[in-house]
Amino acid sequence: MSTKLFLTVLGIVLITGCSKTTTTVTNISSLQSPDGKNVVEISITEEGQLQYSLSHDGQKVVLPSTLGFELRGNVKSESLDYEGNRPVMSDNDPCYLFDRGFEVTGFRNSSFDETWNPVWGEESEIRNHYNELLVCLKHTASDKLMNVRFRLFDDGLGFRYEFPSGQPLVYFKIKEELTEFNMAGDNESWWIPGDYDTQEYEYSHTRLSQIASHFDDFMRGNSSRTPFDRHGVQSALIMKTTEGLYVTIHEAALVDYPCMHLLVDGKTSGIRTWLTPDAEGWKGSLQTPAKTPWRTIQVAESATEMLASRLVLNLNEPCAYEDVSWIHPVKYMGVWWEMIAGAGSWNYTDDFQSVKLGETDFNNAKPNGRHAGNNNKVREYIDFAAENGFDALLVEGWNIGWEDWANCDKDYVFDFLTPYPDFDIQALNDYAHSKGIRLVMHHETSSSVRNYERHMEAAYSLMNQYGYDAVKSGYVGDILPEGLHHYSQWMVNHYLYCVTEAARHHIMVNAHEAVRPTGLCRTYPNLIGNESAMGTEYQAFGGINPGHTAILPFTRLNGGPMDYTPGIFEMNLKEWCGNDSHVNSTICGQLALYVTMYSPLQMAADIPEHYKQFMDAFQFIKDVAIDWSCSKYIYAEPADYLIIARKAKKDGQWFLGGVTDEQERSFNISLDFLEPGTYTATIYADAPDADCYKNPQAYTISTIEVTPQTTLPVTMKPGGGFAVSFEPKKQEDVCPSVVY
């Protein structure tokens, strides 16, 4: 069927745009999700603008929204190359709008249904089931081609732009991506301020119309912070419509493209993309054939259904590695929290006002007595971690340069190779390995990105030499060279380069302060963690409002796991080490995070001395699995509460956990997720007088016998939570009388 014929059989409607002028809009195609509930309508305006809208079960979610770009280059043709036969860009080329003047040259419909097995994850099987529509466009004035590929799932919509090869558009720079998500109403939203350099913010909960006026509510210090507009927020952005639908806007498969932010028009509830610029303000440099990341709109009828959505993972490419045998979940401890809290230091000495690597002599420097990453302490941690069944131990501050690493714009800030005199890298790794522990490498780059890349091959080779198989990297402070941002295309390229280079060395990567994940761990499963949100460290930087961990699974975790570093047992940092900040959680609130904050990389972040005071509670951290065959989202409301059950991939054991915000909450939990049988449930619950501020260490541990028919009542105290492990009763326990 030709395009023209197709157009004639579809209806023509007149809509009134915001500008009060009437424009003719022609519906040209539509797409339904496999279950028929989600419907996308595709239309084109009189001006040749492609629009889409999205509804769920008859409820409008996204009103007609325009797609396109503003690009650099002349409309008719860019400059030509030396031979005069290939369009290239010139600095003098004006920009032009590439969101109108299109004609539709074709459609292609298809369907897809597969089930795939992640290397690690919240479940062992994920169904990837969608109907697809490819809309092929030609920009009439320039003959330039652009396609838009829509994939409609039961849990929402993904679409991306594709620029085919063999056309007049070859190399181009993006002035702005003009993708619209025009919301059907003034939705409730949970958001953090748009920022080119950090996601380390607490969430605000307002209507879309209130974002600009609440933009500063949770501003706080960060070593690199670049908010760009009071109407700007970051993705994933979760919203709730007046009809009660949950809607999340995010992106999937962010590869060699700037990170997407969202600009919200509070008057119209219109949202549009706002990309992260390079140092000259350009927002992406592409070469055809090219494709953008997927723009995703997840839709769910309940918050728990939203948590179960795997749309972002499904829109990523399958695993890029043939051999994944070297990738594994990691439960670890770290010589870390004591530096974060201020009880110890990363740096070895106070002798130097500043350091120049290669010139400063550490061997003859006087130790400051506070350096945490030293031989004795590391051995103590290894002992404790080994005794309690951990896989690994992170040691920060092991390498020279921490005396003046941050905020100094030092290009050669670390070499990632030279240990401090009191860190015997050979002996400590040998000792760790003798106890079944791997050390986790730490590469803080101080955002001196070129310096890291210059040393990366040697640094990864050093890891191979000593038997490290995982690295935590960090990007604290402004990016060097100056003018670049953490979330720019150049940096997005860098983060993935680190992951693929690490893969060549069979190294797993946990990158902090990098761009927030977009499901790339499906393709590159050695990316076992990211930070990219406000993590536990902020409990030592002024505290975190309860409820933060009840929003993260909806937003930050949508694209991939977070190294949230839970497990703090000593909340009174002042008493411990004089830090005025307070950890706003109960011990059971911390235990719950091992279930509610999915990650294949889970830390027990507190120090051994604090765990030793509560070994009965610590038992849950020892027991809990970190890789799952299935997950059940039982109760949830963003930023309020979460209750999740998960089944261990290794042995099928179930665990249950829940967190609440500053409100006490009680639930009755049906244990119908359990397989038939009888279980001993060990319940770690906030004590009746527990409170994250006033009495955070009060808990009870009880053991009861349960079956799938049991309804378990739980109460979470303010800022608290609970955790449950289920041990199947052995046959001899159920039938104590054995017949010979």
- Please say which residue, 223 or 697, places its beta carbon nearer to its own copies: 223
- Cβ at position 606, least distance to its own copies in Å: 21
- Cβ at position 322, least distance to its own copies in Å: 17
What is the full DSSP assignment across 664-711? Answer: -EEEEEE-TTSPSS-EEEEEEEE-TT-BTTTBTT-EEEEEEEE-TT-E
Do residues 7 and 28 touch, judged by C-beta distance below 8 A? Answer: yes
DSSP helix/strand/coil, 383: helix
Determine which one of 513, 531, 537, 570 is catalytic: 537
- Cβ at position 347, least distance to its own copies in Å: 9
Residues that bind its own copies (CB under 8 A): 79, 81-82, 86, 88-91, 165-166, 170-171, 173, 256, 278-280, 282, 285, 287-288, 353-354, 356, 404, 406-411, 450, 453-454, 457, 478, 481-484, 490, 493, 497
Q: How many CB atoms lie within 10 A of CB 663?
A: 13
Do residues 271 and 180 touch, judged by C-beta distance below 8 A? Answer: yes
- Please say which residue, 353 or 668, places its beta carbon nearer to its own copies: 353
- Please say which residue, 358 or 676, places its beta carbon nearer to its own copies: 358
- Please say which residue, 107 or 497, places its beta carbon nearer to its own copies: 497
- Determine the Cα–Cα distance for residues 93 and 168; give it in Å rounded to an integer: 15
DSSP helix/strand/coil, 186: coil
Do residues 698 and 686 touch, judged by C-beta distance below 8 A? Answer: yes
- Cβ at position 494, least distance to its own copies in Å: 8
DSSP 616: H
Half-sphere exposure of 714 (CA within 13 A, CB side): 37
- Please say which residue, 157 or 286, places its beta carbon nearer to its own copies: 286
Do residues 253 and 294 touch, judged by C-beta distance below 8 A? Answer: yes
Active site residue 570: no
For 340-416, strand residue ranges (E) read 392-395
- Cβ at position 395, least distance to its own copies in Å: 20
Q: How many CB atoms lie within 10 A of CB 305?
A: 17
Do residues 340 and 521 touch, judged by C-beta distance below 8 A? Answer: no
DSSP 403: G
Contacts of 435 (CB under 8 A, 6+ apart): 382, 383, 385, 386
- Cβ at position 449, least distance to its own copies in Å: 8
Angle at 346 between CA 344 and CA 349, to 5 degrees: 90
- Please say which residue, 289 or 436, places its beta carbon nearer to its own copies: 289
Supply the Cα-derived Rg of the chain in whole angstroms.
27
- Please say which residue, 408 or 704, places its beta carbon nearer to its own copies: 408
Helix pair 425-434, 449-466: axis angle to 10 deg? 50
Torsion from C-alpha of 92, 96, 102, 105, nearest 10 degrees: 30
Contacts of 694 (CB under 8 A, 6+ apart): none
Contacts of 527 (CB under 8 A, 6+ apart): 499, 508, 509, 511, 517, 520, 521, 560
- Please say which residue, 281 or 436, places its beta carbon nearer to its own copies: 281
Angle at 674 between CA 679 and CA 663, to 5 degrees: 95
- Please say which residue, 15 or 458, places its beta carbon nearer to its own copies: 458
Sign of CA dihedral 84, 87, 90, 95: positive
Strands 628-637 and 711-716 come out as unpaired
Q: Which ranges in 203-359 belong to alpha helices (H)? A: 303-307, 311-314, 337-341
> Could you tell me how many helices (H) and strands (E) the chain has, helices first?
14, 40
- Please say which residue, 467 or 483, places its beta carbon nearer to its own copies: 483
- Cβ at position 97, least distance to its own copies in Å: 21
Q: Which ranges in 328-374 belong to alpha helices (H)? A: 337-341
- Please say which residue, 124 or 226, places its beta carbon nearer to its own copies: 226
Angle at 164 between CA 312 and CA 522, to 5 degrees: 25
- Cβ at position 130, least distance to its own copies in Å: 26
Positions marked catalytic: 537
